[in-house]
Amino acid sequence: MDTKNRILRQAQILFMRYGIRNISMDDIARELGVSKKTIYQTFPDKAAIVHAVMQAHSQGEKIVMNEIRQKTQNALEELVEVLHYISRTLQLASPMLIYEMKKYYPESWQFFRKNEDEFHLPHIRSNLERGIEEGLFRSDIKVEEISRFRLGMLDAILDTKLFPHDVFNQNEVMIEISRFYIHGLLTDKGRVALSELVLTF
């Protein structure tokens, strides 16, 4: 692994665990066992590292989501697998991560929002259409409205004003809201399929 990718990998681990503001260039250098000069030879500042980490995370997320789509037997199984992936990510992430990026790193925040619009929204829409076609999701669902509603639900989970991290556990909030979302989609056939899944909500 080259120096750039080593820096990004270590920075992502530290940002996820402790948040962005709590991690300095010195911290990243120390964890890697290199000088701070080495870091600055690769990235001009911390903002550049944050942005590169976001880009790498986004690319990895797309790979995972597409793999889930290909390996699952139907839209409901796909949805549940995606939710478990999100759950695992939330358990590893500092609850302040998104708030700090939004407040202190606007370029990375804009990239985050663009990725939501260009990847996550179409992915949600496609899942709904797949589920309707398979008879697992209700045929009267207004796909565009519910897709945007779902995306808004995911944003709400990360909103520390709506769900203060010292009061609510993000992962528990995600699971509870996802139960509400899933059960609102299902037909009778979908409810039977959900009961047969090993990974249920």
- Whether the per-residue pLDDT at 4 is higher than 90: the answer is yes
pLDDT digits (tens, 9 = 90+) for 66-121: 999 999 999 999 999 999 999 999 888 888 898 899 999 999 999 999 999 999 99
- Terminal Cα-to-Cα distance of the chain (whole angstroms): 38
CA 191/CA 53 separation, integer angstroms: 39
Residue 9 domain flag:
no
Residue 26 domain flag:
no
The confidence score (pLDDT) of residue 106 equals 95
Residue 177 domain flag:
yes
Residue 4 domain flag:
no
Residue 77 domain flag:
yes
Residue 167 domain flag:
yes
The confidence score (pLDDT) of residue 194 equals 94
pLDDT digits (tens, 9 = 90+) for 8-25: 999 999 999 999 999 999
Is residue 144 exposed (0-12), middle (13-18) or buried (19+ Cβ within 10 Å)?
Answer: exposed
CA 133/CA 130 separation, integer angstroms: 5
CATH number assigned to the domain comprising residue 182: 1.10.357.10
Length of the chain: 201
Averaged pLDDT, 50-78: 96
Residue 22 domain flag:
no
Q: Look up the domain containing 92 and give its range.
A: 47-196
Number of domains in the chain: 1
From residue 154, alpha-carbon distances to 44, 76, 136, 201 in Å are 32, 18, 22, 16
CA 57/CA 138 separation, integer angstroms: 33
pLDDT digits (tens, 9 = 90+) for 156-201: 988 888 999 889 998 999 999 999 999 999 999 999 999 988 655 5
Residue 68 domain flag:
yes
Token pair in block for residue 1 = 């692994």
CB neighbours (10 Å) of residue 162? 11
Token pair in block for residue 37 = 């000069």
